[in-house]
Amino acid sequence: MQVKIEDLLLLVSKYDICNIDKIKKAYDYAADKHAHQLRESGEPYIIHPLSVAKILAELNADADTICAGLLHDVIEDTDATKDEIVAEFGESVAKLVMGVTNLTKMSFYDKKTIDNANLRKLILGMTKDVRIIIIKLADRLHNMMTLQYKKNLLKQQAKSIETMEIYVPMAQYLGLDNIKTELEDRSFMYLKPDNYKEILEKRNKMEKSTNLLKEEVILKIQKILNQENLEPNIKFRLKGIYSLFKCFLRYENVDDIHDLLSFIIILDNIDECYLSLRYIHENFKHIPKHLKDYIGQPKPNHYQALHTTVVGPDDKLIQMQLKTYIMDQMSQYGITVFWHEDIKNGTKIMQESLKTQYPILKTILEANKMANNNQEFVNLLKGELSEKIEVLTANGKIIEIAEGATPIDFAYKIHSEIGNNMAAAIVNGHYVDFNHKLKSGDRVRIITDNNASGPTEEWLLWSSTERAHKKIKEFLNKKKKGILIRERKEIND
């Protein structure tokens, strides 16, 4: 169903009635500029920016962000100018529009070069204003929702690959779980259509077959907690299509998937979460290895909850996630939760939070500093955003690192000097070789020595991340040129 301007205004009026006129003005401007343009679906082009704006409004986005969503293509695709947008909507809206506008008028040699330049511009833009990447995620989500109208199969797949490599993990790092799931499911549909259809059918059957179990478990949890004067709000979640596909690759038997069926138990405060965990464990047999305390140790994207897997009816494994209302909001809206809490100051709080509390910002800035060109930046970024496992530092801090990583990758993830001076690695209390493959949940400690000989050519074979490879090569090049000896002598002196 096509979204209408009335739908958008109604949505915004629920949390920001004061800025309705400004948003309507932005819509009128965009509709006028795109008046004679059509999408590949044959629809009026304005449907796209309007849909992007609606996705943003569902995140409780501020008025400037929604206006920028409506205007995000006018400079690139029409005769509109930045000065015009500044005059009509203000400097803030204009900066956001420019942040998501491609560098199409620059003279590059090929499409890949300009794509890399555009991506670097976009990603660096978010370091100054996180709303830029949020607008882009909404833009990409609607494009993926209508990708069937792009008849070229190779273009569909290229768009899906880019979405999987960049935008899915970016949404995950910012805690935008709903957008992340939707993006990866739709990308999966174009990259592996047969697998997608097969998993979708299995998921639909699971949904029907678990209805009775779902009702039984919810009633039992409510009874258990009500007896202790606790009043939970309980929701049920079945894994997404792509998540299921990945599970089927790891597990031969569907009954072995410990988090296939999840019950989200929302409570009033943290004390109630821990108390409820105790009462649940008293009434259900739990699987100790799947007990995770993300309240005491939140994920890097600020996700918090207690996770436990228990044996439910018919010996089915079921996961229970215990969290407060605020934690549940954070799990749905991620960094944009601040818009829900304070629409007036939310954007400012979001940017400060990104700067001080989200590791993704540091990752982007380091990649930019390390990269000698746009291609290298994109390669480093993709490496940092690839599929992750969670390992722990010696003091218990969660570090997300690429699947297949070794202690070498871990050391360079912490700091290049730790990697260059690594003398030994301890995993779960035992010394391991440098080519040891880390697993999720491992506790890793790196022993350093300023007199260590440093990386060798073999380390390039024993590591898997772009970051480690680049730092090792830099070390080896300096060593060949004799620079390293002088630098180390200066440090020791």
Sign of the dihedral defined by the CA atoms of residues 268, 270, 275, 280, in that order: positive
* 153-156: long-range pairs with CB below 8 Å, 24+: 156/190
Helix (H) or strand (E) holding 56: helix 47-57
Q: In Å, what is the CA distance from 194 to each residue of 149, 157, 199, 201, 310? A: 19, 14, 9, 11, 33
CB neighbours of 156 closer than 8 A, spacing ≥ 6? 147, 150, 190
The CB density around residue 428, as the number of other CB atoms within 10 Å, is: 12
Strand order in the sheet with 444-448: 430-432, 422-427, 444-448
Q: How far apart are CA 437 and CA 446, in angstroms?
A: 14
Sign of the dihedral defined by the CA atoms of residues 160, 68, 173, 233, in that order: negative
Q: What is the per-residue DSSP string for 182-249?
A: HHHHHHHHHHSHHHHHHHHHHHHHHHHHTHHHHHHHHHHHHHHHHTTT---EEEEEE--HHHHHHHHH
Q: How far apart are CA 218 and CA 230, in angstroms?
A: 14
Q: Where in the sequence numbering do the catalytic residues fall? A: 76-77
The C-alpha angle 200, 205, 211, rounded to 5 degrees, equals 125
Strand partners, 267: 324
Torsion angle defined by CA atoms of residues 346, 350, 352 and 357, in that order, rounded to the nearest 10 degrees: 140
